[in-house]
């Protein structure tokens, strides 16, 4: 079995917070904002209630309103996570604008019901004016007692009757007030999530820049690898000594083209998949001169994928490993294949496979020797994919029947970062 590493495993790039597939990855942030928002609301309205009469009754009403408001805000958060999961600001604003309507209506109706209930259960209250007149109220009954003991009793219409006559107007007025209160929380929550996404994007860009610089150093090491240069120059010498000057000249041209193309690439800028494949073709053409009878190259990348943007030199370590641990490790013919195919969810999978070439008849190909590697190439590729795409990229590798395969999956369109 042909191995690129001693330890056989498959790896998936870890997901980044807020970009993970978990629908409620930001629940801690949401619940903290809900608790802080309604605590501030309760503190302000209770302070105001303490300045007026019947403070205890008013406090009880406000606390109940705040508790129901917390529950409704949690439901709004759930609506945002279910119907605006992609994190788009426009979609979140639209969902918030719609979800706050029923929440405001419910809280307005509940508040009116609480006022009616509070009237029926309210204790007797008494106010004495500077002139010595006492005003005693209990529910809808109002008594005015003068200093001389004369008393005037007035039975006011019950609050439920007053509310019933203007129910729709009161519900509408209350709904507008509560709507803007819920909208204020939505604005705070959306701003906090977008700020966190912006910080994460900046961190990922910094990681991607660091990984790109590291990839450039590794790529230059591959390109100026003394072992690679020694074997290439040795092959050139053999061609010249055997009188095949035309082949030697061809190899020199391919070597110069490879160095010119690879060294001119900006590691911080993406390239098209077509450009990346073209660079790998140059590298493989040089290796085919070294291993004319042992290396069979197959590249199956449809033209419709040629303009897809990929990180520069993302395939170089994979192809280098395939040559080092595949072709160089055996005297048999090895097939190195690069293939691309679409996946569900708007992603593209690129496979780099090295395997023993098939033999005629029913003969079973001999097993390939196992070689221990450091894993730097595969680790570099997986880290760069994770830094560049987050949890939307995938990096897997492991043995297959008769060989070894590395598969990477990347988003075809990277607009989700916007």
pLDDT tens, residue by residue, 146-176: 666 666 655 555 555 656 667 788 888 888 9
Between residues 367 and 94, which one has the greater pLDDT? 94
- pLDDT of residue 132 exceeding 90, the answer is no
Local confidence band at 352 (pLDDT 50, 70, 90 cut-offs): very high
Architecture in CATH of 204-417: 2-Layer Sandwich (3.30)
- Whether 366 shows a pLDDT value over 70: the answer reads no
pLDDT band at 350 (very low <50, low <70, confident <90, very high): very high
pLDDT of residue 22: 60
Provide long-range contacts, Cβ within 8 A and 24+ apart, for 31-37: 31/74, 33/185, 33/188, 33/189, 33/192, 34/70, 34/73, 34/74, 34/77, 34/185, 35/70, 37/73, 37/184, 37/185, 37/188
| Residue intervals in the chain for CATH 3.30.565.10 | 204-417
pLDDT surpassing 60 at residue 373: no
Q: In three state form, how does the secondary structure of the chain look? A: CCCCCCCCCCCCCCCCCCCCCCCCCCHHHHHHHHHHHHHHHHHHHHHHHHCCCCHHHHHHHHHHHHHHHHHHHHHHHHHHHHHCCCCCHHHHHHHHHHHHHHHHHHHHHHHHHHHHHHHHHCCCEEEECCCCCEEEEECCEEEEECCCCCEEEEECCCHHHHHHHCHHHHHHHHHHHHHHHHHHHHHHHHHHHHHHHHHHHHHHHHHHHHHHHHHHHHHHHHHCCHHHHHHHHHHHHHHHHCCCHHHHHHHHHHHHHHHHHHHCCCCCCEEEHHHHHHHHHHHHHHHHHHCCCCEEEEEECCHHHCCCEEECCCCHHHHHHHHHHHHCCCCCCEEEEEEEEEECCCEEEEEEEEEECCCCCCCCCCCCCCCCCCCHHHHHHHHHHHHHHHHHCEEEEEEECCEEEEEEEEECCCHHHC
Please answer whether residues 139 and 161 qualify as being in contact, where contact means their C-beta atoms are separated by less than 8 angstroms: no
Gap between the Cα atoms of 29 and 77, Å rounded: 11
Which residues make beta-bridge pairs with 197?
none
For residue range 65-87, what is the model confidence (pLDDT) as tens digits?
889 999 999 999 999 888 887 77
Tokens 């008013």 map to which residue? 58
Cβ contact 286:251 at 8 Å: yes
Residue position matching structure tokens 């390239």: 271
């Amino acid at each position: 079995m042909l191995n690129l590493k001693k330890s056989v495993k498959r790896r998936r790039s870890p997901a980044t917070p807020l970009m993970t597939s978990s629908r409620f990855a930001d629940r801690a942030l949401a619940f903290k904002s809900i608790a802080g928002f309604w605590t501030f609301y309760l503190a302000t309205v209770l302070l105001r209630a303490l300045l007026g009469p019947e403070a205890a009754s008013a406090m009880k009403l406000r606390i109940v309103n705040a508790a129901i408001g917390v529950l409704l805000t949690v439901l709004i958060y759930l609506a945002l996570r279910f119907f605006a999961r992609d994190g788009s600001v426009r979609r979140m604003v639209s969902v918030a604008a719609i979800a706050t309507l029923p929440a405001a209506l419910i809280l307005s109706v509940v508040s009116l019901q609480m006022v009616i209930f509070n009237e029926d259960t309210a204790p007797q209250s008494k106010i004495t004016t500077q002139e010595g007149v006492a005003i005693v109220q209990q529910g809808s009954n109002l008594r005015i007692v003068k200093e001389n003991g004369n008393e005037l009793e007035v039975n006011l219409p019950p609050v439920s009757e007053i509310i019933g006559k203007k129910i729709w107007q009161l519900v509408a007025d209350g709904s507008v007030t509560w709507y803007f209160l819920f909208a204020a929380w939505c604005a705070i929550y959306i701003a906090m999530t977008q700020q966190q996404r912006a910080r994460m994007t900046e961190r990922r860009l910094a990681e991607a820049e660091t990984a790109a610089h590291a990839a450039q150093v590794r790529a230059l090491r591959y390109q100026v690898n003394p072992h690679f240069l020694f074997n290439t120059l040795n092959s050139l010498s053999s061609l010249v000594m055997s009188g095949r000057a035309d082949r030697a000249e061809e190899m020199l041209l391919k070597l110069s083209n490879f160095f010119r193309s690879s060294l001119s690439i900006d590691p911080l800028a993406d390239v098209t998949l077509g450009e990346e494949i073209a660079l790998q073709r140059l590298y493989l053409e040089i290796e085919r001169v070294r291993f004319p009878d042992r290396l069979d190259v197959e590249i199956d990348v449809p033209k419709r994928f040629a303009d897809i943007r990929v990180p520069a030199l993302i395939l170089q370590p994979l192809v280098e490993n395939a040559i080092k641990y595949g072709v160089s490790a055996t005297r048999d013919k090895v097939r190195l294949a690069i293939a691309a195919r679409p996946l569900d969810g708007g992603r593209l999978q690129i496979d780099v496979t090295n395997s023993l070439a098939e033999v005629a008849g029913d003969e079973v190909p001999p097993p390939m020797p196992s070689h221990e590697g450091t894993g730097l190439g595969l680790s570099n590729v997986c880290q760069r994919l994770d830094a560049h795409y987050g949890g939307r990229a995938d990096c897997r590798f492991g043995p297959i029947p008769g060989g070894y395969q590395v598969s990477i999956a990347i988003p075809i369109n990277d607009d989700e970062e916007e």
